[in-house]
């Protein structure tokens, strides 16, 4: 796609109706590499370029939260060499990107079982999270050793423990308190979730948080997903009507009332 069309995608975006939070399932690194006769790791390396491109693209137009599914709890089952290579890549990337994050006023955040990561990764991650904690332009959240069912199970256990200890009543176990016990308690729910590589699944990612999220699927492999593709997805989102269970008429009435 030419740069010309990327400018036109961007120009068509209504900045007053941007999704506040975009979540992405980055998929297809391995297939993209294989299609070129290269090793899967080559795909992951190029996946990092797409991470940079999409982070900049989001910050540039004013998206406040970007959450990337970088490593699921299930990904630990991949061949050891691939897991090690991914961990090394993550370590190098975190160290390399700190300057860019600071320069662009971006806060790095993480959700998932960070304690499962190799000690060096965990240390580097926590350092960069601390160093960027005051940044306000955008929060970039990496889901690492993340699984949504695990997150929900932990929330249920914490609430059960509090109930048993008499700290909360049954009535206080509600949608709000469950949300408050998730790793994402400080982040709004995503309005838009993107999955690349032609797969049409949520794969244990933000299951609770995505209850009303618009889903966008593209055939592009993650290393091919650039700023133009991001803006195209946002435009697609803006052309949809979000009804939250209501009728079109009710939504139109709400719009008339607020204008």
Smallest gap from Cβ 26 to ligand FPP, in A, equals: 5
User: What is the side-by-side strand order in the sheet with 214-217?
Assistant: 106-111, 138-146, 65-72, 21-25, 192-195, 214-217
Residue 26's nearest CA partner among 53, 60, 59, 63 is 53
How far apart CA 130 and CA 93 sit, in angstroms, is 16
Query: Does 70 help bind ligand FPP (rule: CB under 6 A)?
Result: yes
Query: Does 195 help bind ligand FPP (rule: CB under 6 A)?
Result: no
Smallest gap from Cβ 53 to ligand FPP, in A, equals: 11
Query: Does 89 help bind ligand FPP (rule: CB under 6 A)?
Result: yes
Q: Select 31 or 39, whichever has its Cβ closest to ligand FPP.
A: 31
Q: Select 17 or 95, whichever has its Cβ closest to ligand FPP.
A: 95
Residues in the chain: 259
Query: Does 30 help bind ligand FPP (rule: CB under 6 A)?
Result: yes
Among 18, 23, 41, 68, binds ligand FPP (CB under 6 A): 68
Query: Does 126 help bind ligand FPP (rule: CB under 6 A)?
Result: no
Decide: helix, strand or coil at residue 10.
Answer: helix
How far apart CA 29 and CA 10 sit, in angstroms, is 26
Tokens 């209850």 map to which residue? 211
Among 18, 22, 41, 48, binds ligand FPP (CB under 6 A): 48
Active site annotation includes 29: no
How far apart CA 201 and CA 22 sit, in angstroms, is 16
Site map 137..166 versus ligand FPP, x via CB under 6 A: -----x------------------------
Stretch that binds ligand FPP, among 13-21, 47-55, 149-157, 184-192 (CB under 6 A): 47-55
Residue 137 is given by DSSP the state S
Query: Does 101 help bind ligand FPP (rule: CB under 6 A)?
Result: no
Active site annotation includes 27: yes
How far apart CA 154 and CA 120 sit, in angstroms, is 26
For β-strands 214-217 and 192-195, DSSP reports them as parallel
Decide: helix, strand or coil at residue 106.
Answer: strand
Q: Provide the binding-site residues for ligand FPP, judged by CB under 6 A.
A: 26-31, 44, 47-48, 51, 68, 70, 75, 89-90, 93, 142, 197, 222
Catalytic residues: 27, 75
């Amino acid at each position: 796609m030419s740069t010309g069309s990327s400018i036109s995608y961007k120009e068509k975006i209504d900045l007053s109706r941007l999704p506040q939070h975009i979540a992405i399932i980055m998929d297809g690194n391995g297939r993209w590499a294989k299609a070129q006769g290269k090793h899967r790791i080559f795909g992951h390396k190029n996946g990092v370029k797409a991470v940079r491109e999409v982070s900049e693209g989001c910050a540039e137009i004013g998206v406040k939260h970007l959450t990337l599914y970088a490593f699921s709890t299930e990904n630990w089952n991949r061949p050891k060499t691939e897991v090690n290579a991914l961990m090394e890549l993550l370590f190098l990337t975190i160290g390399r990107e700190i300057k860019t994050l600071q320069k662009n006023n971006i806060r790095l955040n993480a959700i998932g079982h960070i304690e499962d990561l190799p000690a060096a990764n965990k240390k580097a991650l926590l350092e960069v999270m601390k160093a960027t904690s005051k940044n306000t332009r955008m929060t970039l959240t990496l889901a690492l050793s993340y699984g949504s069912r695990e997150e929900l199970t932990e929330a249920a256990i914490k609430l059960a423990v509090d109930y048993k200890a008499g700290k909360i009543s049954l009535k206080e176990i509600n949608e709000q308190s469950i949300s408050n016990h998730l790793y994402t308690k400080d982040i709004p729910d995503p309005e838009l979730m993107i999955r690349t590589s032609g797969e049409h699944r949520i794969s244990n990612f933000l299951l609770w948080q995505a209850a009303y999220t618009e889903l966008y699927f593209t055939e592009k492999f993650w290393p091919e997903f650039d700023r133009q593709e991001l803006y195209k997805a946002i435009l697609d989102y803006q052309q949809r009507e979000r009804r939250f269970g209501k009728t079109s008429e009710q939504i139109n009435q709400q719009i008339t009332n607020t204008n």
